[in-house]
């Protein structure tokens, strides 16, 4: 059969954001494929060197659109390590609530999004509508729907509004009630099962070869490899949760794990609200004088958190000046988005390419930066 060139994306409903893969296909089997990133490249790492340490707070959430809060968290963590700032106890718990709500929102979006490549559009409507309720909570806490700029070096920007705990608990009850319905709608659907079961396998060697983290890794290597467990930050060592892991990673398992992780996020938020100190400071004083012209002590540090897609890290270098000297971003979907498309997709069918993008959680803006 004749080999044909195919451009999948950037303007394609099955593609996740402004991202592209170039392929040679024979029939509908992919022979060779190459990722073409860079459509969302804004030069973040350069821009961050040109802003003050505090001015960067407005810039960093924009690196990943779907789940902006891990950015703020790693940035704050790095600065706290460099400047040896002690974060108040209550702030740690508030950060955890925010991070888990963000993870819940990202997972809902991704479970909704899985509908598009398999042709099951109801889940898109359900997932996005439920995610909007979480955004409402964010709006009440931080004042913004998408980019919150809430986690700042030294704690969080301001205290939680009164009575928000009850609202969060109500919302969690609602989402927990919805999860079985989602499960019936998506996972038990024959269309979905045919498309994903025993399809797009991710063997363990490929995980280590590419450096894949997150759900993809946990479902393949049969270990509970999660930054929250291996290297706890905030107060994740004081809550009880267990993450799903397994030895056999097909598309179905990876989506299945997202449901279990959502239930775990709900449990973590409930425990945090219960264990959180009821009052106290939420932000440590970081500097004398103007915080805008604050100077961070020189040094180099790497800090990472677990986002919904894997290890998310910043390498922060300070030379003691008012601006960062260098910040390098490790987007968590960098390996599966670039290497994965090139090394792994050949041999699969064209329509499975977008399933790979979705189940592995390829997020274009954090790859391009």
Partner 1 sequence: MTTNAKDVRKTWEKIADYFRAHSIWMKWYCTGCGAIEMPPTMTSRFDMERLGMGPMATPRQADVLLITGYLSAKTLRRVIYSYEQMQDPKYVVGFGSCTLNGGIYFDSYATMTRLDHYLPVDLYIAGCMPRPEAIMNSFDTLIKMIEKGEAKGWKHYQENHEWYRRNQLHSLKEVYVKDEFHE
Partner 2 sequence: MNSTNKLVEEIRQRFEIIDVIHPDDQQVILDIDKMHLHTLLSHLKADGFRQLSLLSAVDWIKDNIFELVYIVFNWDTGVHVLARVKLPRDNPRFRTITPIYPGAQYYERDVHEFFGIEFEGNPMSYKPLFLELWDEMPPMRKDFDPEAYSREKFPERVYVPHFVPKVEVIE
Residues in contact with partner 1, shown as a per-residue x/- string from 145 to 174 under the rule CB under 8 A: xxx---------------------------
With respect to partner 2, which residue has the nearer C-beta, 276 or 363? 363
Please classify residue 16 by burial: count the beta carbons closer than 10 Å to its beta carbon, then call 0-12 exposed, 13-18 middle and 19+ buried: buried
Q: Which range touches partner 2 (CB under 8 A), out of 18-26, 33-41, 146-154, 240-248? A: 33-41
According to the binding rule CB under 8 A, does residue 132 interact with partner 1? yes
Are the C-beta atoms of 100 and 267 separated by less than 8 Å? no
- Partners of 310 in beta bridges: 307
According to the binding rule CB under 8 A, does residue 338 interact with partner 2? yes
Kindly identify the residues of this chain, within the stretch 230-249, that bind partner 2 according to CB under 8 A. Answer: 230-231
Rounded-to-integer distance, Cα 224 and Cα 166, Å: 32
Cβ neighbours of residue 75 closer than 8 Å, sequence gap 6 or more: 56, 57, 60, 153, 314, 316, 327
3, 46, 242, 298: residue in contact with partner 1 (rule CB under 8 A) = 46
Are the C-beta atoms of 54 and 76 separated by less than 8 Å? no
**Burial readout 289-325 (b: 16 or more C-beta within 10 A, e: otherwise):** eeeeebbbeeeeeebbbbbbbbbbbbbbbbeeeebbb
Residues in contact with partner 1, shown as a per-residue x/- string from 47 to 66 under the rule CB under 8 A: x--x-------xx--x--xx
According to the binding rule CB under 8 A, does residue 167 interact with partner 2? no
According to the binding rule CB under 8 A, does residue 317 interact with partner 1? no
**Burial readout 158-188 (b: 16 or more C-beta within 10 A, e: otherwise):** ebbeeeebeebeebbeebeebbeebeebbbe
Rounded-to-integer distance, Cα 227 and Cα 234, Å: 11
Least separation in angstroms between residue 113's CB and partner 2 is: 24
Q: Which range touches partner 1 (CB under 8 A), out of 128-136, 156-164, 235-243, 346-354? A: 128-136
Kindly identify the residues of this chain, within the stretch 90-109, that bind partner 2 according to CB under 8 A. Answer: none
According to the binding rule CB under 8 A, does residue 299 interact with partner 2? yes
Q: Tell me 185's DSSP state.
A: I
Least separation in angstroms between residue 47's CB and partner 1 is: 6
Cα three-residue angle 344-361-21, rounded to 5 degrees: 50
Least separation in angstroms between residue 313's CB and partner 1 is: 21
According to the binding rule CB under 8 A, does residue 32 interact with partner 2? no
According to the binding rule CB under 8 A, does residue 81 interact with partner 2? yes
Query: What residues make contact with partner 2 under the rule CB under 8 A?
Result: 37-38, 41, 43, 45-47, 50, 81-82, 208-211, 213, 223, 225, 230-231, 299-302, 304, 311, 313, 315, 317, 325-326, 328, 330, 334-335, 338-339, 368
């Amino acid at each position: 059969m004749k080999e044909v060139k195919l451009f999948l994306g950037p303007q394609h409903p099955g593609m996740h954001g402004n991202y592209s893969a170039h392929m040679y296909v024979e029939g509908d089997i992919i022979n060779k494929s190459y990722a073409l990133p860079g459509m969302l490249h804004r030069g973040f790492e350069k821009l961050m060197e040109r802003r003050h340490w505090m001015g960067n707070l407005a810039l960093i959430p924009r690196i990943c659109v779907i789940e902006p809060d891990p950015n703020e968290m790693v940035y704050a963590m790095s600065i706290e390590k460099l400047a040896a700032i002690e974060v108040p106890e209550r702030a740690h718990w508030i950060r955890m609530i925010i991070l888990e709500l963000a993870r819940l929102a990202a997972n809902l979006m991704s479970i909704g999004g899985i509908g598009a490549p398999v042709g099951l559009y109801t889940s898109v409507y359900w997932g996005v509508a439920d995610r909007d309720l979480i955004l409402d909570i964010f709006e009440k806490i931080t004042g913004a729907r998408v980019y919150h700029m809430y986690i700042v070096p030294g704690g969080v920007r301001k205290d939680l509004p009164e009575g928000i705990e009850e609202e969060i608990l109500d919302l969690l009850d609602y989402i927990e009630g919805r999860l079985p319905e989602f499960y019936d709608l998506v996972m038990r659907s024959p269309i979905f099962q045919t498309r994903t079961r025993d399809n797009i396998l991710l063997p363990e060697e490929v995980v280590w070869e590419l450096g894949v983290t997150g759900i993809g890794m946990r479902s393949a290597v049969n270990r509970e490899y999660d930054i929250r467990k291996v290297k706890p930050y905030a107060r994740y060592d004081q809550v009880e949760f267990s993450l799903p892991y397994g030895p056999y990673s097909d598309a179905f398992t990876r989506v299945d794990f997202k449901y279990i992780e959502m239930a775990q996020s709900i449990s973590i938020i409930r425990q945090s609200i219960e264990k959180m100190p009821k009052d106290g400071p939420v932000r440590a004083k970081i500097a004398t004088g103007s915080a805008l012209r604050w100077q961070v002590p020189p040094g180099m540090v790497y800090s990472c958190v677990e986002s919904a897609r894997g290890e998310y890290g910043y390498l922060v270098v300070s030379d003691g000046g008012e601006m960062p000297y260098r910040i390098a971003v490790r987007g968590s979907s960098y390996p599966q988005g670039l290497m994965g498309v090139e090394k792994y997709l050949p041999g699969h069918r064209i329509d499975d390419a977008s399933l790979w993008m979705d189940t592995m959680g390829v997020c274009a803006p954090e790859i391009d930066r």
